[in-house]
Structures are given as structure tokens and as C-alpha cells.
Amino acid sequence: QLTVLNLGNNLLEEIPEEVKYLTSLKRLHLFGNKICKFASGACDGLQNLILLNLNNNQLTWIPPEVSRLKSLIYLSINHNQLASIPKELCFLKNLSELQLNYNQLIYLPEEIKFLKKLQKLLLVGNNIEVLPEELCDLVNLRILDIAGNFIQTFPSGFQNLKLKEFYCEGNPLFLRQPVNAVQQEDAWSLQEITSRFIMNELAGKNPFIMHVIEQHSQVRNIISQRRKCAICGNYFLTIWLECVEFVPPPKNWKISRNLQLVPLRILICSYKCFNQRGPNLFGIAQV
């Protein structure tokens, strides 16, 4: 029974449907082809596959059916043309290593939090501007390389990751350069005022509000997008102040040579809270 198949450096234009019959296959190398798509059903019979190498192809998307590769541990799709990855990829619960270097990714799905066994994530040379807060849920992540993207700040819980190696050179990270600024509260929309009241009443477990919310799915969908103020702990919806807190990287991280402070993205609900911030928290100024 075939367990390893190397079709690298050929002229394949798709992952053929016939591979689904190789049910004992554990390692599949398809690097250096011209693959731009998966044939329908190509993932159906590969439940034992643990390694898939698609480096140096022409893929612009990954089909949701990739979630059928239940045993996959190593997935490498470097040097392709991916603009996004499907949320279904994040349901590969055994995935330990994910390489997506040199694509055209602009974001990571929030479902990335489900990759609980992920230890190595490589995202070099993409177009990512913001890392999702859910990245901080990857408790087993040990190596993260995001060099050569467009990231300015990191999620607020970023320093809690148990990383051993972290590389971020070639990103336009915010620098700590204090300047004076005019602080003027904006007028809130009626939706924001109402949403804040409802969300904070829910936090207090107001039984009347909780009953009303249960009856209105549209309201539930709106408040599911809530965020929490880092200063007062109250909830808000769409109006906030984006700030930066500069913290030193953990001493046990192996890091990019020039990284002295890690800029963390902090959201605050109002200028009232902004004026109560600590000395290491700064507003973001566009200059």
C-alpha cells in the first residue's frame, strides 16, 4: 500500500481526483507544479494523510473540503497566490505546522483559534495588516514568523503566548513617540448608545434584558460583535479609541534582533477612560 507519493517538479495543473483512492497515503508532495485548483473530490479519501506539500504552485484559493484531511499534521503552501484561507482549514484539529509564506494573504480568519495543536505558524511575505485576537488562543504555538507584512500592532493578549521563537522584521511597527493631541469626545449614534446600555445590562445579568434578547436574533447578532474596554471593563460596539501599549517581549522568546518593545493593540470606549490610562498606554496619531 502506497504511503508516500512525490509528484514534485512536474507540470500538474490541478490536484487530480484520483488521489482520493490512495487511502493509505500519508505523505503527498506536489511542490513545483502549476497547480491552481483541487479537483472535485480530491480530498475525500485522504483521511490518513499527515503531510501535504504544495509549495511553489499557483493556488489562489483552498477549497473548504480541505477540512476532510482529518489526520493532517504538516501543511505547507509557500509561494502561491492565496489571498485568504478558508475557515474550514482551521478545523484540522491535528495540524501542528502551517506554512503560508509568500502568498497574498491580507487577514487570518478568527477560527484560527481552533488550531489548538498548532506549534509552528509561518506567514512571511504576505499583506497582513492586523492579527486577530483569536491568535492568542493558540496555547501550543511555539514558533511564529510574520516578517515582511504590514502589521503595526499586535493583539492585546499577545505577550501571553508561550512562544520560543518570534520574528517580525520588515513590518511598520508603531514606535513610542509621544506628542500632544486634542482630546474631543465624538457624538455617539443612537445604536451605539442603546447597544452599550443593553450589553452592560446583560453583563449585570438583568433578567428582563436577557429575556428580550432571547426573542430577537438580530439584536443577538449585533451585540455578538461587542468589545470590552481595557480601562473600565464596560462593553461597546463600533465607536472606540485605538491605543497602543508598549511592553518588553518575554525574556524566553528568541526574537528579531531590533525588537525592543512589542506594541499591543488596546481598545478603549471613550476619552474619559483614555484620560485614566496608565503611563505606558498611548493614543494612535496619524501624521
pLDDT at 210 over 70: no
Question: How much is the pTM?
Answer: 0.83
Q: What are phi and psi of 28, to 5 degrees?
A: -130, 115
Bigger pLDDT: 224 vs 77? 77
Q: What angle do CA 59, 65, 70 make, to 5 degrees?
A: 110
Integer Cα distance of 264 and 246 in angstroms? 6
**Three-state secondary structure call for residue 235:** strand
- Residue 287 is predicted with a pLDDT of 43
Edge-first strand listing for the sheet containing 241-247: 262-268, 241-247, 281-283
pLDDT in tens, 235-282: 887 767 888 888 888 888 888 777 888 889 888 888 888 887 777 778
- Residue 208 is predicted with a pLDDT of 60
Q: What average pLDDT does the chain have? A: 86
Which positions ≥6 away from 57 have C-beta within 8 Å?
Answer: 30, 31, 32, 33, 34, 35, 36, 77, 79, 80
Q: What are the grid coordinates assigned to 280, written together?
A: 505606558
| H/E element, 37 | strand 37-38
Of 269, 197, 263, whose CA–CA distance to 233 is shortest? 269
Q: What angle do CA 201, 203, 208 make, to 5 degrees?
A: 45
Edge-first strand listing for the sheet containing 51-53: 4-6, 27-29, 51-53, 74-76, 97-99, 120-122, 143-145, 165-167, 254-255
Picking from 64-68, 111-115, 190-194, 240-244, which range would have the lowest pLDDT averaged per residue?
190-194
- Residue 209 is predicted with a pLDDT of 58
**8 Å CB contact between 65 and 87:** no
Residue tagged 481598545 (cell numbers): 267
Number of H helices, E strands in the chain: 4, 16
